[in-house]
A and B are shown apart, each in its own frame.
Chain A
Amino acid sequence: MLHIKCPHCGMRSQNEFSYGGDATVKRPELGKEISDQDWDNFVYNRKSLRGKHWEFWQHLSGCRQWIKVQRDTATHEIFKTLKANEEIS
């Protein structure tokens, strides 16, 4: 079970969180023209990287905040966690 540092609550076990996908994907702006390809990339296409990966998690059974977690997909090492409003650097 992973041990994730919620930026709001501190170190908590994985079973308090739920996974929310790739945090580098930005939703296209509402009402903006977008090509089929770009839309497909947003909805479906993911890189499934091996290694460092920024992803969204929600502290579901805690503060309910969505956070950003940088995790190694191969080793599960967690390098950094950010609040929703903090930019990935």
Chain B
Amino acid sequence: MIQSFRLESGGLINRDKKISFKFNGKNYYGYEGDTLASALIANGVHLIGRSFKYHRPRGFFGVGVDEPYAIVQLYRNGETEPNIKATEQELFEGLEAKSVNCWPSVNFDVGAINNFLKIFLPAGFYYKTFMWPKSFWYKIYEPFIRRAAGLGTASIKHDKERYEHKYEYCDVLITGSGPSGLASAYSAAKNGAKVILAEDKSRFGGTLLTSEVNIGNQSGKEWADSIISELKEMPNVTVKNRSQVFGYYDHNMLVMSERISDHLPKTKKFHPKQRLWYIRAKEVLISSGSIERPIVFGNNDTPGVMLSSAAKEYMKVYGVLVGKKPLVFTNNDSGYETAIEFKKNGINPIILDTRKEPQSEIIEEAKNMNINIKNSYVVVAAQGYKKVKSADIAKISDNKEELGSIENIECDCICVSGFWTPTIHLASQSGNKTKFNEDIDAFVPGISKQNEKTLGAANGIYTLEETLKDSFEKGNQISKEITNNDNKVSFPNVVEKKSTVHDKFWCVPLPKGKNYKRFLDFQNDVAVSDIEIALKEGYRSIEHVKRYTTLGMATDQGKTSNLNGLQLVSKIENKVVPAVGHTTFRPPYSPVSIGAIVGREVGKHSKPTRKSPMHSWHEKNNAVFVDAGVWLRPRYYKRGEENLFEASKREAKNVRTNVGVCDVTTLGKIDIKGPDAAELLNRVYTNAWLKLPVGKARYGVMLREDGIVMDDGTTTRISENHYHMTTTTAQAANVLSHLEYYLQLVWPELNVNVVSTTEQWAGAAIAGPKSREVLRKLFPKSDVTNEGLPFMGYMEGDLFGVKAKIFRISFSGELAYEVNVESDNGYFMWKKIIEVGEEFGIQPYGTEALSTLRIEMGHVAGSELDGRTIPYDNSLEGLLSKKKDFIGKRSLSRKAFAAEDRQKIVGVVPLDKKTSIPEGSHLVKDSNAPLPNPKLGYISASCWSVEHDNPFSLAILKDGKNMIGEKLFVMSPLKNKVIPVEIVSSHYVDPKGERVRS
């Protein structure tokens, strides 16, 4: 293919480096420095997609971030990415892209039939039509909409690319490297401030790359280049291109996405694809410039209709002509600059100026170049389907309401300029109260809420000299306050052509008898008629009009459509624009990849993985692991072909008959020291703690202030003022914060220190009737008899040269011990336990067997202490001290907590002694009762009782105290199960607790 629209010379592209790429399966060539858009235009490709609603042909409208049309599906290095703007995507060797929204193809699109049926697709169409009948939604409407709509297809493959996050602090963050960004960065940097200058595009300089100006005897581009190279040399300055500051959050935190590798055929080794910067800036200078806004006219969405500034940039930066018979339609002087650029490149443009007799230096220059200028003229409608072929134009009356006779002139592109809209998104996001500027018919930043200032065109300042002056000064001023340096920068001499005022005209009236679609929002296909309907139907608030019509709700967030929409509402409503107000700008300014937001925290990096020191032993011995919070714990140890049920039954049974060992390292451990430690425990736990002797452990329950059980565990008095507290695995962090809250804020007079020691100790629970035999072998020098180490006793021991803490506590209901050693010795301890336990038939057991053992003995755990139960509900009321006050005690005397028929923990056994009971099932009196069937309680935990060899569950049951012996039904609609059951005591094993004391 020949690049038939490429100029012979010029542009900032590298013509020495040809780049091949594919679009919709066809091969093309472009140059290094092209975007996909500029390369396609150079090749004469103008049809790039179909519109969202009507599937009308779509071409290019802009040249950068504001592009509403040219959205493609990108293929790069075996991956695909949707929603890529062709105007932003830099060309690389082997790039492949495809149109979206086209089915079956961009040239023949079934959805375009919507266009001919557009009478059925007015504003609110989706709301009105797809509302009823309700049953149609899932089967008919939604699949239809999903196929016809959408801006591409997300990949369902795992994303192999790496995305990084970075946190940065700076004195001044400057968003945009146009004239105001460069000038302010330069003077702030000269004062020694730590500056970050962010530029969204690959090239620095903004409008300086395309405007005919002179700064200090240099062209705009030369000046920009010299400033940038100087800034890059300064150690206090970070200059970043391809970096979009897209969000302004609280306390001057801004987020920037840096596209590090998107412009390369593939990401370099050890490089991320993108990097998200969280920047906390002392001051922010917003230099985001302005976006040209369109004038609204008939069929103004036809490919070939585009912003005049874009046409100029395609010529000046990319050496590409957007057309060879251009029509420039303008209400201000900017259109003339585009026309002049065409003329310089040997193309004869025609200018239609809505103004009657404008006069300025730029207009004079155009006249001197013999450019055909038609004053008081408008484009009534573009003609042509897949590309502009001609334009219907007409003279317009001075009051801009009457059109003269329609003339048709041939053209292949219409370059529109309806003046400039400051890019106030970041300022608005920061909480700035924006105000309407009558002179430019647009909103500009007003009163700041955070430390931000807006410069240059983003602030509605449209002359270079004023912009530079203001920006040099602001950069100096704010940095001076931070660094106390005042290094004045000499102001360069600026030459620019003066322009005259623009015409506030923005929408061409319809000629009589014609009903052209005049589009406001090009990405969401919102036309003038849609807004009119919305207002007719009674929508008033601009926020409602927006949602009803979807104006400005597309991925471009209405960058080119917002103001014209407001103009229209204000005209119909006969209100001034500021009275209509604008919709809220929200981050992100431009779409950001989900990958960049997620960063490195994907897959196994999404959360830390904590492993006990014995983990490698478990792995070697066929442990199947389960996530317990961030911990990995053995769920069971697989032997042969065993499944979970068989293995856990074997392990639990072995604990009841012989002895088992379980890794309990994950239990929360808190070291408590200080003369008031006992007093703290006495206030935190519900039972009495002041008289616990040294060398003894006690079980305790702690409540929240509202009386709900927070956690349980044992605490051991190691020495006079030293206690060792254990918590459940899940609540470890909360309990520590809870203790710190009371010690620091409520009872600072208590002299106590608390610190987490969870990771300092490795723990093993040795449980079963033969556990004492194992202990004897482990600690031959210690007296571990029932007298030497009684139930709830504690001692220190010597485990083959390793110091150990031995607690005689039990979670399983059997005679049991917990041995703790320093984490580094955990593996050694475990090996020794297995070794000496072999002769007693010791087996490791996992969390599944652990659960079975605790459930059948009725020991409550997380599924009962679920943040909804009080001590009574868990049959822990015996632990409530009557003599002393404690956290949450007062709440227990609230009426509901003292109700006679209060819920209580019970045991549940299926009548057939066979059917397993699903956890979470409901308990009801009558399984056939009409719905809603009154629920009496719920199953909190289920197991297969190894003691009785039948299923057993725990439940929290209304009036549980009086329900023992009752026959009820367990219902699980989810599992479609109804099971007749008997209510029994929650202590299904050794109800008198003799074994633990044996």
Residues of A within 8 A of B (CB): 1-3, 13, 18, 20, 27-28, 30-31, 34, 36, 39, 42-44, 56, 58, 60, 64-66, 75-76, 78, 84-85
Contact = CB atoms under 8 A, between A and B. Distances in A.
Contacts of A36: 894
B737 A60 contact: yes
5 contacts: A42-B705, A56-B745, A65-B744, A66-B745, A78-B251
A30 B885 contact: yes
A1 B745 contact: no
Given A1-B251, A58-B741, A75 B431 contact: yes
User: Most chain-B CB neighbours within 10 Å: which of A30, A39, A44, A76?
Assistant: A30
Given A39-B891, A76-B250, 15 more contacts: A1-B249, A1-B278, A2-B251, A3-B252, A30-B885, A31-B884, A43-B706, A60-B737, A64-B740, A65-B744, A66-B741, A75-B449, A84-B744, A84-B748, A85-B748
Nearest to A65: B744
A77 B891 CA distance: 35
Contact of A27 (B253, B706, B746): B746
Nearest to B682: A30
B547 interface: no
B750 to A, nearest CB: 11
Contacts of A31: 884-885
A56 B740 CA distance: 12
Contacts of B884: 31
B683 interface: yes
Contacts of B886: 30
Contact of B253 (A3, A56, A85): A3
Nearest to A64: B740
Given A3-B280, A65-B744, A43 B251 contact: no
Interface string B719-749: 0000000000000000001001100111010
Contacts of A66: 740-741, 744-745
B894 A58 contact: no
B497 interface: no
Interface in B879-896: 884-886, 890-891, 894
Interface in B249-282: 249-253, 278, 280
A58 B741 CA distance: 8
B280 A43 contact: no
Contacts of B251: 1-3, 76, 78
User: Most chain-B CB neighbours within 10 Å: which of A1, A36, A75?
Assistant: A1
B705 A58 contact: no
Contact of B890 (A13, A39, A58, A64): A39
Contacts of B431: 75
Contacts of B252: 3
User: Most chain-B CB neighbours within 10 Å: which of A2, A42, A43, A78?
Assistant: A43
B891 A58 contact: no
Contact of B891 (A43, A64, A75): A43
A1 B894 contact: no
Contacts of B741: 20, 56, 58, 66
Contact of A2 (B167, B250, B746, B885): B250
A78 to B, nearest CB: 8
A42 B704 CA distance: 13
Nearest to B748: A85
A39 B890 CA distance: 8
A7 B192 CA distance: 29
Contacts of B280: 3, 13
Interface string B891-932: 100100000000000000000000000000000000000000
Interface string B583-607: 0000000000000000000000000
Nearest to A33: B890
A65 B894 CA distance: 33
A18 B737 contact: yes
A58 B737 contact: yes
B850 to A, nearest CB: 30
Interface string B213-254: 000000000000000000000000000000000000111110
Interface string B699-713: 000000110000000
Given A58-B740, A64-B740, A75-B431, A34 B746 contact: no
Contacts of A28: 890
A3 B741 CA distance: 22
User: 10 tightest CB-CB pairs across the interface, nearest first?
Assistant: A3-B251, A31-B885, A30-B885, A84-B744, A66-B744, A76-B250, A27-B746, A1-B253, A39-B890, A66-B745
A79 to B, nearest CB: 13
Contacts of A27: 705, 746
A69 B705 CA distance: 22
Contacts of A58: 737, 740-741
Given A27-B746, A42-B705, A34 B885 contact: no
User: Most chain-A CB neighbours within 10 Å: which of B250, B683, B891, B894?
Assistant: B250
A64 B744 CA distance: 10
Nearest to A11: B280
Nearest to B252: A3
A13 B278 CA distance: 11
B445 to A, nearest CB: 17
A2 B280 CA distance: 10
B914 to A, nearest CB: 46
A56 B744 CA distance: 11
B880 to A, nearest CB: 15
User: Most chain-A CB neighbours within 10 Å: which of B431, B744, B746?
Assistant: B744
A44 B706 CA distance: 8
A42 B744 CA distance: 18
A20 B738 CA distance: 10
Contacts of A42: 705
B156 to A, nearest CB: 31
